Structure 1
Amino acid sequence: MLLGPSPALQLWLSIKELHMAKHFSFGGDLKHDFNGTSYGGELSKGKRRSQRPLSNFEPIHLVLKSNKAFGRRSLLHPANRKMLLKYTRRFVFRFKVRLYSFANVGNHIHILIHVPDRKAYVSFISALTGTISKMIFKSAGMWDLRPFTRVTSMGRGFGIVRKYIERNVEQGLMVVESIMKKDPLWRRAGFDSVIWSWG
């Protein structure tokens, strides 16, 4: 039997665009440097390591992607999405990271955060990526590329990134809704833990 939706989920499901939503493009699918504010992801292919641009007073858009994350290893699988939220929440508090937005799309996640300093970012991303890889793959090697980050500005830039992440939340909901029609396990889990919640 399908679980009743939470108030937060009802709000999201009321969005008229939910069933028509397409992946929201943002600057060419995150492959651009944006004047030296971006690092990692596709930008890291064929390049030597350099210092990642970070800021302790501006938000950071973080993307983690794994093309191996499908089926039982999908980040949206009921067991994995609960684990993902559990450890993201834990490490946000542990390393004093402020989280603005979060989206799980199955093979990648988007997080909009503020970090107090570089050490906090390194500790947070190392703990999060290592724990997810260990919990789902039982080993390292889950992630395709180095994490993508982009330092964004408060105001209009912040609003654009946040809207982009909201579109990815919609996409994740559509994926779960589609699989629920075929898989009893997903139906029993319902939409629980798809939307970020501090409750």
Structure 2
Amino acid sequence: MGHTQLHFTKTRWQFRYNHGGILRQKRRGRKARPLSTKAPIHLVLKTDIRSLCRGLRSPLGFYLINYIIKTYARRFFVKVEQVSINHDHVHLLVRFSRRSLGQHFLRVVTGQIAQQFKNNGFLAAAKSVTDTPATKPRKSAKLWKYRPFTRVIQGWKPYLIVRNYIQLNIKEASGQIKYKPRRLRGLSLAEWQILWT
């Protein structure tokens, strides 16, 4: 009984502030996305690595993603505090001025990145057993593996953890800090000093 109640409480909390990603595979994850105009939001865009011919950190891919994020952040009045573009995913720390503008930002940014990657040959052709050679044009594979994951950050300490985590992703992607399974907890004193330099 106690175990069931603990699990239920944990599940409720999981969907209270989080949405998207693998949570969409659960029934409660299909409800309205929790967003906030007061609290910062951690946004994660995860690609299907099998669909990519080139990683997100290739020179053109890196430029396109940065350009699209900056362009639509201005258009939809979104404050972008941090961006980390990794090989197969993107982390953002953002603040929305209005819920509707935040929803537009999510939809347009993910759509534009997918469209630009398709137009610039970043996506592999989708494999299909029904295709016959030279009879049908092969469709491009889908870029995104999941719907955008968002987490409304509640409190100062969780905010600092997310900021450090995104900064760690930036340093790992650039090769300044080596990836470790324990992530922030596994950093040495020297690595902590590198983190924000």
Fold conserved between structures, TM > 0.5: yes
Structure 1 outlier segments of 4+, above 6 Å: none
Q: Find the aligned partners of 1:151 and 1:133 in 2 and give their Cα distance.
A: 25
Q: Find the aligned partners of 2:49 and 2:67 in 1 and give their Cα distance.
A: 21
Report SS of the residue matched to 2:175: helix
2:18 corresponds to which letter in structure 1?
S
* The structure with more helix, counted as a fraction of residues: 2
- Provide the residue aligned with 1:156 in structure 2: 157
> Does the Cα contact within 8 Å between 2:21 and 2:147 map onto a contact in 1?
yes
- Provide the residue aligned with 1:39 in structure 2: 19
Shift of 1:36: 1.3
Structure 1 residues 104 and 120: CA distance shift in structure 2, 3 A: same
Kindly provide the CA deviation profile for residues 40-92 of structure 1, in whole angstroms up to 9, marking residues without a partner as x.
Answer: 10111143621011111000000000123776431101111011111111011
> Does the Cα contact within 8 Å between 2:20 and 2:149 map onto a contact in 1?
yes
- Provide the residue aligned with 1:18 in structure 2: none
> Does the Cα contact within 8 Å between 1:70 and 1:107 map onto a contact in 2?
no
Q: Find the aligned partners of 2:13 and 2:67 in 1 and give their Cα distance.
A: 32
Shift of 1:141: 2.5
- Provide the residue aligned with 1:53 in structure 2: 34
Q: How many residues align?
A: 145
Report SS of the residue matched to 1:36: helix
2:96 corresponds to which letter in structure 1?
V
Aligned residues with identical type, % of pairs: 30
Structure 1 residues 136 and 35: CA distance shift in structure 2, 3 A: closer
- Provide the residue aligned with 1:185 in structure 2: none
Report SS of the residue matched to 2:87: coil
2:42 corresponds to which letter in structure 1?
H
Shift of 1:34: 3.9
Q: Find the aligned partners of 2:38 and 2:173 in 1 and give their Cα distance.
A: 30
> Does the Cα contact within 8 Å between 1:75 and 1:104 map onto a contact in 2?
yes
- Provide the residue aligned with 1:134 in structure 2: 115
> Does the Cα contact within 8 Å between 2:44 and 2:91 map onto a contact in 1?
yes
Superposition map of 1:8-157 within 5 A: 34=14, 36-47=16-27, 49-68=30-49, 72-138=53-119, 141-157=142-158
Deviates further, 148-157 or 102-111: 148-157
Q: Find the aligned partners of 1:35 and 1:66 in 2 and give their Cα distance.
A: 22
> Does the Cα contact within 8 Å between 1:134 and 1:140 map onto a contact in 2?
no
Q: Find the aligned partners of 1:133 and 1:151 in 2 and give their Cα distance.
A: 25
Kindly provide the CA deviation profile for residues 6-64 of structure 1, in whole angstroms up to 9, marking residues without a partner as x.
Answer: xxxxxxxxxxxxxxxxxxxxxxxxx9954611011011114362101111100000000
Report SS of the residue matched to 1:146: coil
> Does the Cα contact within 8 Å between 1:32 and 1:38 map onto a contact in 2?
no
Shift of 1:137: 2.2
- For structure 2, the residue ranges without an aligned partner over 5 or more in a row are 1-10, 120-139, 177-197
Rg bigger for which structure?
Answer: 2
- Provide the residue aligned with 2:166 in structure 1: 165
> Does the Cα contact within 8 Å between 2:51 and 2:143 map onto a contact in 1?
no
Relative contact order higher in (CA < 8 Å, ≥ 6 apart): 1
